[in-house]
């Protein structure tokens, strides 16, 4: 394992769920492996409950089998030569074969997977493999759950049901859980709190609502799914901060700021209009640009624009049809000053609890 500078500190209590999000290489998987005892840090302290499992100063370093972590890796790590029930029973320490099979059947039934008991992993779909892996993780009654990108290997059609299964597993456990994911949306559904990890440091931590409403940096705003534009404060107007956007255009925000800033809003806050038309609402922010992409998502449409900085708007499919939205069409993106956040631009400070 390569050397990596990871400096993150947090506490997750019983029944609490922490999601760790961040780009590839940020240290997310390394963090889980350190907790599970599959990797050894050079320094620091890790405790599960009141019991330290690693403390460099005290010379404590418990092996993985004594930490009782339920670790679910990205590939689920099922044994291909074993049936589903044998995979589930593998970590059980109770009784003989009959007792372990009965316990495995009980756990499989919780996930509606009893019919799969005698099937090997090669005969299972992606969602079914995840259910078996979840059942095995819970069967050993771990003290903490560690999930590494649990939905990454699934297709979109399977993901929602699998997310429900994950939520069920977390609820049944009752213990603390740490969930690693690339997706802020998944993190917001599965976790109470989210920590955004960047280059081994926690850039910001808080509830999904807190991070969405008050991102502490451009980096964090990007991860929440916000539209982020760069600009510089040009002054004030009627109590609003006015920002000159890089590449052209002026935006207003109720936030106070100075100097270079990142301007953020969410795609669903943005409406689209034909350029030159009279404003249809009280939105003060208007940027005109060219449609670069149109993606249908159910009865909604995500519209990519160049204004000239990239902007994504999310509108109803009916509105997109009425405006005859297609690549190359010129449109005006409009949103309110109250839906516009200003963030100091530049390297962010590591989060300190």
CB atoms under 10 Å from CB of 347, counted, come to: 8
Quote the CA–CA distance of 219 and 171 in Å, as a whole number: 31
**pLDDT tens per residue across span 129-175:** 988 998 898 888 899 999 999 888 777 777 888 888 888 888 878 88
Q: Are residue 238 and residue 309 in the same domain, yes or no? A: yes
How many alpha carbons lie under 13 Å from residue 30 in its C-beta half-sphere? 22
| CB proximity list for 312: less than 8 A, separation 6 or greater | 227, 267, 270, 302, 303, 304, 305
Sign of CA dihedral 92, 164, 11, 183: positive
338 occurs within a structural domain: yes
Among the candidates 180, 213, 246, a domain finishes at 213
Q: Tell me, what DSSP letter sits at residue 27?
A: S
Q: State the pLDDT confidence band at 350, using cuts at 50, 70 and 90.
A: very low
Is the pLDDT at 230 greater than 70, yes or no?
A: yes
Q: What is the pLDDT of residue 353?
A: 35
Q: Taking residues 183-191, report their average pLDDT.
A: 92
Q: State the pLDDT confidence band at 265, using cuts at 50, 70 and 90.
A: very high
5 occurs within a structural domain: no
Q: State the pLDDT confidence band at 69, using cuts at 50, 70 and 90.
A: very high
Q: Are residue 38 and residue 88 in the same domain, yes or no? A: yes
CB atoms under 10 Å from CB of 231, counted, come to: 21
Q: Are residue 272 and residue 129 in the same domain, yes or no? A: no
Q: What is the pLDDT of residue 251?
A: 98
**pLDDT tens per residue across span 85-99:** 999 998 786 667 888
Is the pLDDT at 222 greater than 50, yes or no?
A: yes
Q: Which two tokens stand for residue 71?
A: 């670790």
How much is the pTM?
A: 0.85
CB atoms under 10 Å from CB of 71, counted, come to: 21
Q: Are residue 208 and residue 245 in the same domain, yes or no? A: no
Helix (H) or strand (E) holding 34: helix 28-36
Is the pLDDT at 186 greater than 80, yes or no?
A: yes
Q: State the pLDDT confidence band at 13, using cuts at 50, 70 and 90.
A: very high
Q: What is the CATH number of the domain that holds 161?
A: 3.40.50.300
Q: Are residue 47 and residue 118 in the same domain, yes or no? A: yes
Quote the CA–CA distance of 20 and 28 in Å, as a whole number: 7
220 occurs within a structural domain: no
Q: What is the pLDDT of residue 348?
A: 46
Locus of tokens 């249809």: 280
List, as own/partner pairs, every contact residues 288-292 make where C-beta atoms lie below 8 angstroms and the sequence separation is at least 24, other chains included.
288/330, 288/331, 288/332, 288/333, 289/330, 289/331, 289/333, 290/328, 290/329, 290/330, 290/331, 291/325, 291/326, 291/327, 291/328, 291/329, 291/330, 291/331, 292/327
Sign of CA dihedral 209, 5, 66, 102: positive
| CB proximity list for 4: less than 8 A, separation 6 or greater | 27, 30, 200
Q: Taking residues 35-57, report their average pLDDT.
A: 93
Locus of tokens 């992993």: 121
Q: Are residue 330 and residue 192 in the same domain, yes or no? A: no
Quote the CA–CA distance of 253 and 236 in Å, as a whole number: 9
Is the pLDDT at 239 greater than 50, yes or no?
A: yes
3 occurs within a structural domain: no
Q: Taking residues 225-243, report their average pLDDT.
A: 96
Question: Is residue 309 within 8 Å of 229, Cβ to Cβ?
Answer: yes
Q: Are residue 244 and residue 137 in the same domain, yes or no? A: no
352 occurs within a structural domain: no
**pLDDT tens per residue across span 115-126:** 999 999 999 998
Mean pLDDT (the chain, rounded): 90
By CB neighbour count within 10 A (0-12 exposed, 13-18 middle, 19+ buried), where does 93 fall? exposed
> How many domains would you assign to the chain?
2
Q: Which of 148, 154, 84 is nearest to 115 (CA)?
A: 84
Q: State the pLDDT confidence band at 17, using cuts at 50, 70 and 90.
A: very high
Domain that holds residue 209: 17-213
Q: Which of 20, 12, 17 is nearest to 167 (CA)?
A: 17
**pLDDT tens per residue across span 20-40:** 999 888 889 999 999 999 999
Tell me, letter by letter, the H, E, C secondary structure of 154-180: CCHHHHHHHHHHHHHHHHHHCCCEEEE
Is the pLDDT at 277 greater than 90, yes or no?
A: no
287 occurs within a structural domain: yes
Quote the CA–CA distance of 264 and 285 in Å, as a whole number: 12
Q: Are residue 38 and residue 175 in the same domain, yes or no? A: yes
Q: Are residue 275 and residue 321 in the same domain, yes or no? A: yes
Q: Which two tokens stand for residue 108?
A: 């499989």
Q: Are residue 206 and residue 256 in the same domain, yes or no? A: no
Distances (CA, A) of 194 to 176, 180, 186, 206, 222: 14, 10, 11, 6, 14
């Amino acid at each position: 394992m390569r050397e990596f500078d990871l400096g993150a500190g947090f506490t997750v209590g019983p029944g609490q769920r922490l999601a760790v999000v961040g780009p590839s290489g940020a240290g997310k998987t390394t963090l889980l492996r350190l907790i599970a005892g599959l990797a050894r840090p050079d320094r620091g302290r890790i405790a599960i409950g009141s019991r330290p499992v690693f403390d460099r100063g005290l010379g404590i370093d418990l092996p993985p089998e004594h930490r009782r972590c339920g670790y679910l890796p990205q590939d689920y790590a099922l044994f291909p030569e074993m049936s589903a029930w044998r995979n589930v029973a593998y970590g059980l320490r109770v009784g003989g074969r009959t007792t372990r099979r009965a316990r495995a059947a009980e756990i499989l039934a919780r996930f509606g997977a009893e019919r799969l008991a005698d099937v090997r992993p090669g005969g299972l779909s992606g969602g079914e493999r995840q259910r078996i892996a979840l059942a095995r993780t819970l069967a050993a009654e771990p003290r903490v759950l560690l999930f590494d990108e649990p939905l990454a290997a699934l297709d979109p059609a399977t993901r929602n049901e699998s997310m429900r299964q994950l939520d069920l597993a977390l609820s049944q456990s009752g213990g603390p859980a740490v969930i690693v994911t690339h997706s802020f949306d998944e993190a917001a559904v599965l976790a109470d709190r989210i920590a955004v990890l960047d280059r081994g440091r926690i850039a910001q931590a808080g509830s999904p609502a807190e991070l969405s409403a008050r991102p502490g940096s451009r980096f964090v705003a990007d991860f929440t799914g916000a539209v982020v534009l760069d600009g510089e404060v040009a002054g004030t107007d009627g109590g609003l901060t006015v920002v000159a956007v890089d590449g052209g255009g002026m935006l207003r925000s109720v936030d106070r700021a100075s100097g270079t800033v990142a301007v953020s809003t969410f795609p669903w806050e943005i409406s689209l209009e034909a350029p030159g038309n009279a404003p249809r609402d009280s939105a003060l922010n208007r940027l005109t640009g060219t449609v670069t992409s149109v993606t249908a998502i159910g009865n909604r449409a995500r519209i990519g624009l160049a204004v000239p900085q990239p902007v994504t708007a999310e509108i109803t499919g009916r509105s997109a049809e009425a405006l005859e939205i297609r690549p190359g069409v010129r449109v005006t993106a409009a949103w309110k000053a109250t839906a516009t956040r200003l963030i100091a631009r530049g390297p962010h400070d590591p989060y300190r609890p």
